[in-house]
Structure 1
Amino acid sequence: MIKVLIVEDDPMVAEFNKRYLKEIKGFSLSGIVHKVKDAKEFLEKERVNLILLDVYMPGMNGLELLHYIRERKMAVDVILITAAADREKIQTALRLGAVDYLIKPFEFERFSQAMERYKDKTALFEKKQVFKQEDLDEGILQGDQSPSREMTQTLPKGLTNSTLQIIINVIKSKDGTLFSTDEIAESTYISRVSVRKYLKYLTQLGVLEESLTYGIGRPVYFYTLKKDKLNQVSMYL
């Protein structure tokens, strides 16, 4: 398991990151701290593999923590999750070895993509001692520009296996009753627009049956799960 420390001063954002992380296999949460000072103390006591790091925090900021980690040659990777969107901070983070940079607000899909990429790279480093150029090009270097090859081969562009799994789990919990896009979005903390894409795809596969209901305001699409068709998505999960 990849051990993760969340360094985020906003308790609500920290909780969302915690929930998102819980939905992705292969990761375990080691702790949550709200200040750089507390993060330093945590790292002195506990070994973690990955830090999900905010920039703007009281006292020292996240980039100062990243400097601290690199100066001490700590064997820990960092993904920035922050509202800091200016060129200087982004360049500084990347020059200090941040493996990814997520700008708030972001969708779960982007979070999932970052974590899956990191997990794939970690697995590759654990598997090999010596690399060929094609190993680096396909598994490490090119991973920063595009979704993993597994994702692009199995699902349409913009959809990810981990998000599909989350949505399928919630749909199964409906136990055959009608549900709407809004209901799935509220249960998964995924945007309505993104959920709609997955429901449309599942409808195309025949896994869901779609119906349109007219009432007060805009028409609403409702869906029903066809349990006997779930095998259509089993290869993606």
Structure 2
Amino acid sequence: MIKVLIVEDDPMVAEFNKRYLKEMNGFVLSGITHNVKDAREFLNREQVNLILLDVYMPGGTGLELLHYVREQKMAVDVILITAAGDSEKIQTALRLGAVDYLIKPFEFERFRQALMKYQDKYAFFNQKEVLNQEDLDHRILDSGQRTSEELSLDLPKGLTSSTLQNIIHMIKAKEGSLFSTDEIAESTYISRVSVRKYLKYLTQLGVLEESLTYGIGRPVYFYSLKKDKLSQVNMFL
């Protein structure tokens, strides 16, 4: 089991991260701390494999804790989960060895992807003592990742070209205005869950631009069409 420490000053966010973590097999929560001082004390007495770390906290930042972890040569990995989206802080975190960086607010799927990717690398390193170039490229360094042009050559599992055509037709009908998952689902009579998958795919290709709006109740994602990127899916239209 991968032992996880959550370091987050907002109790509500910490609780959400805790709930998300419970949904993941192979992970166990070792503890929750709300500031750098308590996190350092926890790390000095408990063995932890992974820290889910916020940046902005009273009495010290998450980046300072990450510096401390590296200075002490602790065998622990860090995923930043924070509202800090400026490039300087992201670069600093990556240079200090953060394995991933999630910008709040985020969906469970992005959280799941981060932990699954980490779990895969964690298991891989614990199975092999010597790695070859292919191991590094495809399992560790992600050098084998495909570009958006390559991704567009085939649809992800579960997506069909006919449904994609239908959804893109409705998106074009919006004539450049913002739209939500619910609006496309109502117009196409396709389930919201299915529509969400297609919109995520189109966002990944750069055909759509995604934005998050807060209102009453749950946050709502809105999308806008980038017409100059439609060539990414022309083969399916």
What is the alpha-carbon distance in structure 2 between the residues aligned to residue 131 and residue 137 of structure 1? 10
Residues 51 and 200 (structure 1 numbering): CA distance in 2 closer, same or farther, change over 3 Å?
closer
One-letter amino acid of the structure 1 residue matched with residue 128 of structure 2: K
Aligned to 1:196: 192
Say whether the 8 Å CA contact 1:90–1:101 is kept in structure 2.
Answer: yes
Q: Which runs of 5+ in 1 are unaligned?
A: 147-151, 158-180, 183-194, 202-237
**Scaled by the length of structure 1, what TM-score is found?**
0.63
Matches within 5 A, 1:44-193: 44-142=44-142, 155-156=157-158
Residues 63 and 197 (structure 1 numbering): CA distance in 2 closer, same or farther, change over 3 Å?
same
One-letter amino acid of the structure 1 residue matched with residue 135 of structure 2: D
1:197: Cα distance to partner? 2.4
Aligned to 2:12: 12
What is the alpha-carbon distance in structure 2 between the residues aligned to residue 76 and residue 18 of structure 1? 19
What is the alpha-carbon distance in structure 1 between the residues aligned to residue 24 and residue 156 of structure 2? 18
Q: Deviation string for 1:182-237 (max 9, x for gaps)?
A: 9xxxxxxxxxxxx9325888xxxxxxxxxxxxxxxxxxxxxxxxxxxxxxxxxxxx
**Scaled by the length of structure 2, what TM-score is found?**
0.63
* Secondary structure, counterpart of 2:48 in structure 1: coil
Residues 72 and 105 (structure 1 numbering): CA distance in 2 closer, same or farther, change over 3 Å?
same
What is the alpha-carbon distance in structure 2 between the residues aligned to residue 37 and residue 143 of structure 1? 38
Residues 22 and 71 (structure 1 numbering): CA distance in 2 closer, same or farther, change over 3 Å?
same
* Secondary structure, counterpart of 2:12 in structure 1: helix
Q: Which aligned runs of 4 or more in structure 1 are off by greater than 3 angstroms?
A: 143-146, 152-157, 198-201
Aligned to 2:221: none
Say whether the 8 Å CA contact 2:3–2:49 is kept in structure 1.
Answer: yes
What is the alpha-carbon distance in structure 1 between the residues aligned to residue 117 and residue 95 of structure 2? 19
What is the alpha-carbon distance in structure 2 between the residues aligned to residue 153 and residue 112 of structure 1? 21
Say whether the 8 Å CA contact 1:117–1:143 is kept in structure 2.
Answer: no
Say whether the 8 Å CA contact 2:137–2:144 is kept in structure 1.
Answer: no
Q: Deviation string for 1:14-50 (max 9, x for gaps)?
A: 0000000000101000000001000000001100000
Identity of matched residues, %: 72
What is the alpha-carbon distance in structure 2 between the residues aligned to residue 92 and residue 144 of structure 1? 25
RMSD of aligned Cα (Å): 2.6
1:153: Cα distance to partner? 10
Q: Deviation string for 1:100-128 (max 9, x for gaps)?
A: 00000001110000000000001110111
One-letter amino acid of the structure 1 residue matched with residue 192 of structure 2: R
Aligned to 2:29: 29
* Secondary structure, counterpart of 1:68 in structure 2: helix
* Secondary structure, counterpart of 1:142 in structure 2: coil
1:69: Cα distance to partner? 0.4
What is the alpha-carbon distance in structure 1 between the residues aligned to residue 143 and residue 4 of structure 2? 20
1:154: Cα distance to partner? 8.1
Q: Deviation string for 1:158-186 (max 9, x for gaps)?
A: xxxxxxxxxxxxxxxxxxxxxxx99xxxx
1:145: Cα distance to partner? 5.7
Matched residue count: 161
What is the alpha-carbon distance in structure 1 between the residues aligned to residue 143 and residue 119 of structure 2? 11
* Secondary structure, counterpart of 2:52 in structure 1: strand
* Secondary structure, counterpart of 2:142 in structure 1: helix
Residues 156 and 99 (structure 1 numbering): CA distance in 2 closer, same or farther, change over 3 Å?
farther
